[in-house]
Structure 1
Amino acid sequence: MTRQVMDDQQINSLDDVLNTTPGVTSYANDNAGRTTYRARGFNITNYKIDGMQIDATTSFGGVGSSMNMDLYENVQIVRGANGLLGGTGDPSATIYLQRKAPTKEFAANGLLRLGNWNEHRVMADINTPLNHSGTIRSRYVFTWDDTDTFRVREHVNRLGALANFAADLSARDTLNFGFQYERTRNDGASWGTNVPIWYADGTRTHLSRSTNPATDWSQATRDQYTAFINYDHDFSAGWHLKVGYMRTQGSSYNNLGVAKINNAARNVGGYAGFWNQDGTGAYLNALHAEYADARDNADVHISGPMHFLGHEHQIVFGFNGYNDELTQYTFSKALGNCSIAGVTPYSGCQYRAAGLPIANWQTWDGSYPNFTTHRTKAREVDVTRNYGAYTSGRFILAKGLSLILGGRVSTYEAYSGTYNVQNQYSGATGTGRQNAVLTPYAGMVYDFTKTMSIYGSYTNIYTPQSNLRDANNQPLNPVMGKSYETGLKGSFFKQRLNASLAFYLNRQSNVAEATGATRAFSSQSGSYPAAVKKFA
């Protein structure tokens, strides 16, 4: 997905990119920025920016919905298992994003857009050298988008900023560093699927497209700060040493209230899960949750060509990894920092069932008492580490015939710890560690014409699932497996038309299966009940 395509099609967010990508499907849990993307029947979990792996999920604690495409030069989507560089691979796809980088020539680009639903969008992109020769250069990008939507009480505000600098320290050394900020706020955000198709008596509702059963204070906000630095040394003859580091800090604020169609309807008779035509049957469901995430990424690799048997081959040796800390702040009745109009929450800081009835959903304007919350030092911290060494090579066996071999040896570790309101640490629980996990990759490509290739590949599947726990609150071991693929690819009319045909087989083990049980609620930590999992 090139910059030109994103400009031509007004693609402004990562959601827009993936919604226009062939072979990628999606389903939205609600209009709070929680959209799950899938490829080849599996959720996409691998995302990278300039080669650094990030957590771009769109869960309550994820920051994926805040990503703004005005800050990026292009997006590359590789379908299929691809754990060679990141160490983790699932059979869906890997998403690579490349930031806008400074160049030696001055350039400026701007955009002002006015659109339907009261949309206002401004973008400025300025590239300027900082000395006459351009050996020191910079690029600044600012973007702001503010719009209503076709739903009542829904409003979306996006903000992005990038300052990217590069300096040629010598003829062979280049230093690049910069800062980036992205934020998305969804007002009128919902929680789950809420607009019913039928009434409780079985007749169709035919509700307006603008229906949005969210409160006037419901909102979801995601933001992310990034600092990055990269160094490139040219050894000559095509060999390069590259060292990179990236620090990201993000937060997620969820204060959601919505008229749900849940089991509370059983208290007034009729079928559960549907509103009544007389305006009864709706109950306020509400959720308050706050997260913070910090991730350190590092990558060191050396790459270059090797000449033997009359051909030039490409070799890469490297080491990379990340350390991620996800903090979930605790809100609960037990801690006294979660309440709506003095009503006891269903659990944690969630309201369900019949506790908060709505008198008439037909005339309801979204007004309802807001949450009363305050953050304490009580929290749960989930730590994930993934690091390892990797190597890969592309070998030319004959004219048009290439062999690709590689592998990564990874160490993976995950554990959780809780803090009480006095900021006292309870110690690590649910520690899981995997050492020397080998993720091999092998592939072959044959260009049998100038425009078409046939290929085949094999790789291991290695997908951590530390967020899933068993009955003893231990994280499940990673999903393991194998992926086989073969197919045809073609590029025609000077790459204006591209085509592919793929056949693939994926096998997995250690896949989680819900047991239907829940972990006991902890009054000390205020932790939410979580589904117990087991190995399938």
Structure 2
Amino acid sequence: MQKLSLTLLLLLSLTFNVFAQNSGIKGQILTSDGQPAEFVTVGIKELQLGTVTDSKGHFRLKKVPNGTHKLYVQLLGYGAIEKTIEVKGETTIPPISLNEDTQALQEVLVKGNINRFAQKESEHIARLPLKNIENPQVYNVVSKEIMQEQIVTDYKSAFKNIPGANAGVAHSSNGRYMNVTRGFNLGNAARNGLGTSSVSEIDPANLERIEAIKGPSGTLYGASLSTFGGLYNRVTKKPFETFGGNVSFTTGQWDLNRFTADINTPLNGDKTVLLRVNTALHGEKSFQDAGFSKTYLVAPSLLLKLSDKLTVLVDAELYGRKGTNIYGNTIASTRVTANSIDQLGIGYKQSFTNNSIIASTRTQNLYSQINYRINSAWTSQTNIGTSLVEFEFPALTLNTITDSTVTRNIWDQYTRQVATQIQQNFIGDFKIAGKRNRVVAGLDYSSMNFDFPNTRGALYDTVNFLNPGKRYAAISINDIKNKVAGVTVNSGSTGKYNYMGAYVSDVFNLAENLMVMLSLRVDRFDNRGSYNYNSNATTGVYKQTALSPKFGVVYQPIKDKVSLFANYMNGYQFIAPVNQPDATVSNFKPQFANQTEGGIKFDILENKINATISYYSINVINLVRTDMERDPVNGTRFQIQDGNQTSKGLDFELIMNPVNGLNILAGYAYNASKLEKANENVNGRRPTNSGAKNTANLWISYRATAGTFKGLGAGTGVNHSGEQFVINNTTREFTIPAYTVWDATVFYDQPKYRLGLKLDNIKNERYWNTSLQPQTPRRFSASITYKF
């Protein structure tokens, strides 16, 4: 580590003087149809200076001497535009329009002379106009380009490109999945920075990108969206000003058939009313002896440009799913002597279900965003979202009770959840005493209503998985309905809770290359309680308040190329009151996670090398644990709130475009989690379902950028996850073994069409998720896309 630090310091000292001047040119490049032009080369030839525009079309040339210069602007493969520019200090020029439209930008992507995987700028991460290299927080981005290259057909597969996020993926009964980051489970409830219902599956057809925001992010996102490990934010596709789009078909083993369409068009001649519709139809069978899913997605998006200052975006997602479901397998019995799932001997292709046991999910998401530019310094942004999810199912859970037998437990349930969020942001970008100041101040209201009006469960049977016999295949939907009909206890419930939050975040430039971030949020949680249909009683009514601060500092020894950063971040979870054995009620405080982190970010060689490396330490306080010293009442121990958990680790990401056409994405994550003050049987141990200590990901692709084979390319990558704990206490340990999965793809990408072939899990590796469900073995798939 010392050698690395000395090397970095030497590099900084040798290069600092080269970039020491203050004058420069800033501006924006637009296409002929008024869209931001990304990946356009801008430079001054006589000075041998050049750069590439970002996702908003912005560019900045630094260290340009005062005087008159000729600025050239060139879209790859097209003629250059030259402009005479007079530079006086830091000079901002009016927007420059290219002769080409957005179709020409697609040609740029095909030629491949860009770092296609390093598109990290975002309006959601900090809710401010803040570049990655200016942000003291660590985050990763999975763009639609890499998802297309890898022929991603499900949301889970995209997370292979996020360091540390592929360690623990668990499916639930409705098709949803979760991930583990920095030792904590993360849901997928954020959409364009706004909350959604978190209980439905997500189709990737409408995704522009996925943003993995690392660390406890309660200050901006609150406890309803962020966990102690961070959150995932999915960014959806938005309308643009020209007609265009694509249709695609993907097919593969196990009857994989997937159709998607992305159609965009202006609805009037002034291009002030824009419509984009994304849709998907998806069907596939399981590789196991039973199982299937069929889904659909319709996602329209309408953009209204009501004036130069006012725009309104309205979009929706209509999603449905039908298919078989299994919650997963639990190892609850001490009669199981195996220490790992691969030792247990359950057949990899045993589903324990059949195709008559069908669950269904319906999702309706509706959103609106209103942006109003108050003046040159301030913008008002109003976000409104509502989400309705219904799912009904007979579902199975498995419980392994010996080294040869499992019980099949059945559930009959209907669930309805409605989530609503209203968010108002005021975003400012102005100067104070000549220093840039960026600030967001906002209010957040969200509510969740849930209803489980009919929830009945029963033990169905016990199966010997080593010798299944006729009983294994005899299960059917009629048998389940008959079994559940005899259950009189309805364990269903209904309830509601509300959040109200206010926050402010300020980024102030103490100097051009030194900035600080100060943020604070206050949240009020109002749990109206849960009414139990069986007991006819309401419990869990409580209110709590939490303060969540955030602090960050960024120093750029080489402006816009190298930054040293540090942060203090906070997250929280509200805790329901606990009924103690002596009939008293303990009103506990919220749990808090406090993170300190430091690291370095690179964006050098004109965005050809983008890297982040950081070390973090998360300390969770106010955990509830069993008090072993206080005398129990009737054999039941008291619960106290003095528990503690730590999670420390390393995050690394490297995105490279060393030569034209070659793109590399690599990541590594190390995490050491420990319960430092907890129940005696787990104290000092790694928490279960906290992921693996070590995970790594790599994807390398190359496409020919010129000549006869222009557009022809190939990619390959590996994902590794270390061993994970499912049970970890003084009595026993049960693990998921480490695994390494290797994938590869070949493609032929042209402006009007794209052909792709993919081979997943080339080695046919056997591996499991944290629900002990076998994951997909080797599979071949192919796709064809027509662009217009």
Q: TM-score, normalised by structure 2?
A: 0.55
Contact 2:562 2:601 in 1 (8 A): yes
Q: Secondary structure at the match of 1:371?
A: helix
Q: Which amino acid aligns with 2:349?
A: S
| Deviation of 1:133 (Å) | 1.3
Q: Is residue 293 of structure 2 the alignment partner of residue 140 of structure 1?
A: no
Question: What's the counterpart of residue 510 of structure 2?
Answer: 397
| Deviation of 1:352 (Å) | 6.3
Instruction: Determine which of 212, 217, 221 is the counterpart of 1:77.
Output: 212
Q: Secondary structure at the match of 2:475?
A: coil
Structure-2 change in CA distance of 1:260 and 1:158 (3 Å): same
Gaps of 5+ in 2: 1-141, 629-636, 644-788
> Could you tell me how far apart the structure 2 residues matched to 1:427 and 1:199 are?
38
Structure with greater proportional helix content: 2
Question: What's the counterpart of residue 480 of structure 1?
Answer: 592
| Deviation of 1:96 (Å) | 1.4
> Could you tell me how far apart the structure 2 residues matched to 1:222 and 1:148 are?
17
- Structure 1 residues 509-524: aligned runs within 5 Å: 509-513=621-625
Q: Which amino acid aligns with 2:409?
A: N
Question: What's the counterpart of residue 286 of structure 2?
Answer: 149
Q: Which amino acid aligns with 2:501?
A: G
> Which is further off, 469-478 or 127-136?
469-478
> Could you tell me how far apart the structure 2 residues matched to 1:67 and 1:159 are?
10
Question: What's the counterpart of residue 8 of structure 1?
Answer: 149
Q: Deviations over 1:26-66 (max 9, x none)?
A: 4355674364311111122474212212343xxxxx22xx1
Question: What's the counterpart of residue 169 of structure 1?
Answer: 306
Contact 2:412 2:454 in 1 (8 A): no
- Structure 1 residues 326-365: aligned runs within 5 Å: 326-332=450-456, 349-351=457-459, 361-363=468-470, 364-365=472-473
Q: Which of the pair has more CA radius of gyration?
A: 2
Structure-2 change in CA distance of 1:143 and 1:453 (3 Å): same
| Deviation of 1:238 (Å) | 3.9
Structure-2 change in CA distance of 1:474 and 1:407 (3 Å): same
| Deviation of 1:316 (Å) | 1.2
Question: What's the counterpart of residue 519 of structure 1?
Answer: none
> Could you tell me how far apart the structure 2 residues matched to 1:350 and 1:386 are?
35
Q: Deviations over 1:338-380 (max 9, x none)?
A: xxxxxxxxxxx131676x9999614533534222468999941
- Structure 1 residues 11-160: aligned runs within 5 Å: 11-29=152-170, 32=173, 33=175, 35-45=177-187, 47-56=189-198, 62-63=199-200, 66-88=201-223, 89-160=226-297
Q: Secondary structure at the match of 2:148?
A: helix
| Deviation of 1:309 (Å) | 2.9
Q: Which amino acid aligns with 1:82?
A: S
| Deviation of 1:323 (Å) | 0.6
> Which is further off, 224-233 or 208-217?
208-217
Q: Secondary structure at the match of 1:7?
A: helix
Question: What's the counterpart of residue 499 of structure 2?
Answer: 386
Contact 2:336 2:400 in 1 (8 A): no
Q: Is residue 361 of structure 2 the alignment partner of residue 222 of structure 1?
A: yes
Contact 1:304 1:314 in 2 (8 A): yes
> Could you tell me how far apart the structure 1 residues matched to 2:243 and 2:578 are?
53
Query: What is the RMSD computed on CA atoms of the aligned residues?
Result: 3.4
Contact 1:397 1:403 in 2 (8 A): yes
- Structure 1 residues 174-185: aligned runs within 5 Å: 174-185=311-322
- Structure 1 residues 267-282: aligned runs within 5 Å: 273-275=402-404, 281=405
Q: Is residue 371 of structure 2 the alignment partner of residue 261 of structure 1?
A: no
Q: Secondary structure at the match of 1:192?
A: strand
| Deviation of 1:111 (Å) | 0.5
Structure-2 change in CA distance of 1:296 and 1:34 (3 Å): closer
Aligned residues: 476
Question: What's the counterpart of residue 542 of structure 2?
Answer: 432
Q: Which amino acid aligns with 2:554?
A: V
Instruction: Determine which of 361, 376, 387 is the counterpart of 1:237.
Output: 376
Gaps of 5+ in 1: 57-61, 263-272, 276-280, 333-348, 517-530
Structure-2 change in CA distance of 1:30 and 1:162 (3 Å): closer
Contact 1:409 1:439 in 2 (8 A): yes
Aligned residues with identical type, % of pairs: 16
Q: Deviations over 1:104-144 (max 9, x none)?
A: 11112110111111110000111111101110111111101
| Deviation of 1:426 (Å) | 5.2
Structure-2 change in CA distance of 1:192 and 1:150 (3 Å): same
Q: Deviations over 1:403-446 (max 9, x none)?
A: 1111111111113232649xxx95742212113x2211110011
> Could you tell me how far apart the structure 1 residues matched to 2:270 and 2:338 are?
76
Structure-2 change in CA distance of 1:192 and 1:207 (3 Å): closer
| Deviation of 1:247 (Å) | 0.7
